[in-house]
Amino acid sequence: MIKKVKNALAGSATEYHSDLLDPKVIPRGEHGISREGISDNALKVLYRLNSAGFDAYLVGGCVRDLIVGLQPKDFDVVTNATPDEVKSLFKNCRLIGRRFRLAHVVFGREIIEVATFRGHHQNSPDEKKKSPKEALGKQNQEGQILRDNVFGSIEEDAERRDFTINAMYYRVTDFTVTDFANGMQAIKNKRIELIGDPETRYREDPVRMIRAVRFAAKLNMQISESSAQAIHELGSLLSNIPPARLFEEVIKLFASGQGLSTFKLMQEFDLMQPLFPQLSPLLKDPKSRENQFIERVLINTDNRINTGLRVTPAFMYAAFLWYPIEEHTQKLMDEAGLNHFDAFNIAINDVLHRQIQRIMIPKRFSTTMREIWQLQLRLPKRFGRRAYQMLEHPRFRAAYDFLLLRGQVEGGALLELADWWTEFQEVSAEQRKNMLVKLREAEGGSARRPRRRRSSTKKPASS
């Protein structure tokens, strides 16, 4: 069993020891990082901070990715300058965050995030005798960090990093990398390992559990035994994370090009339950239609991302909640005697409401999700002008893709319907007319036709 909470929180709120660090300075010729792979805007930030007399480094994922040969999606800078001092150097800077105070230096669509070296928190047994550090840093009784604006040295900052592979600092003044926690060796060993005690680090920030899974899938690495064991026992702590923060984290999980492998690891570590409690019970059987559908959606998403095509989180979330909606619809029909249409719309509202208690889905995405779901009921209705009107619907393509994936999993009439729409999009206008005629004939003329009015002549009144 993992140690009790009180042991994890004994002493200082975030207790570290210098023996966790073994800093090594790696010269330019041994780490393989070139300025050609670094964003010009990130270099501008580094140079200006250095020119103003501050220390500044690239840190974290961008350094790790450059070392393993990947192109970073963003570049993070860390410095001994405070957020206010950073803001004074850059007119295009804005300060954000309450839990973590950060500076964002904005260059058009690119944002360079600048953080000040983090320091260690201190707890005082007497609440009235709080030091300035304690006022800037706060943890709850379970050890989760609620406020983290305690600044410190680069050594303290390195100890505060989550994983050993993320505690590497690139310095542009001499092109060296300072590796504080044997991150280079962890990369060679293909191991994801936390800095410090796994229970304490996960309790500080439960999101580290899904970050461990994401890095393992992205970098094709294994999570170390001690770091993995703690995930199994502490996964429920993810329910303490604000829903708005989890939305962004889940997008990183499943929309980074390794969605399928990430999904399988999330199931292995039982982390789907705290994120998608309505879906999780439906995933227990690996061969279930729910599992097959999610896997097909993620394969499709991975292919699009890895070929440079755009994806929308709305499609992914719509897929994750589709079968919970179907299940709840049937329950409402059986228990309340509702017709399918009414039960379906109530189920959409109920399932969405429950989900946003865990993951806050912005309205711009939930609106698209609703349209994708509702169009699943309209796609079978193809007579008259309906088929042509459907093609003009702004969400038709997303709804069709959704239907096609459902058909590939469920087969039968659903797959026939998806195949019909596939052909209807590709053929000529004349062939579309023929398809609709054949469809009407196949239905036995059951489609309603407008009735002609009969001209009636009034008989003259009898005299």
Instruction: Evaluate whether 110 touches 72 at the Cβ level (below 8 Å).
Output: no
Instruction: Evaluate whether 294 touches 399 at the Cβ level (below 8 Å).
Output: no
Q: Find the catalytic residue in 76, 148, 157, 179.
A: 76
Give CB contacts under 8 A, 24+ apart, made by 223-228: 223/191, 223/192, 223/193, 224/191, 224/192, 224/193, 224/194, 226/193, 226/194, 226/198, 227/192, 227/193, 227/194, 227/198, 228/269
Amino acid at 211: R
Q: Is residue 285 flagged as an active site residue?
A: no
> Phi, psi (5° rounding) for residue 195?
-90, 120
Q: Is residue 197 flagged as an active site residue?
A: no
Q: Find the catalytic residue in 162, 179, 197, 302.
A: 162
What is the distance between the terminal CA atoms of the chain, rounded to a whole angstrom?
A: 105
Q: Is residue 74 flagged as an active site residue?
A: yes
Q: Which residue has 């000040």 as its token pair?
A: 116
Q: Find the catalytic residue in 74, 205, 270, 350.
A: 74
User: Helix crossing, 396-410 with 412-426: angle to 10°?
Assistant: 140
CA distance 150 to 96: 16
> What are the structure tokens assigned to 390, written together?
């459907």
For residue 389, count CB atoms less than 10 angstroms from its CB and return exposed for 0-12, middle for 13-18, buried for 19 or more.
exposed
Residues annotated as part of the active site: 74, 76, 162
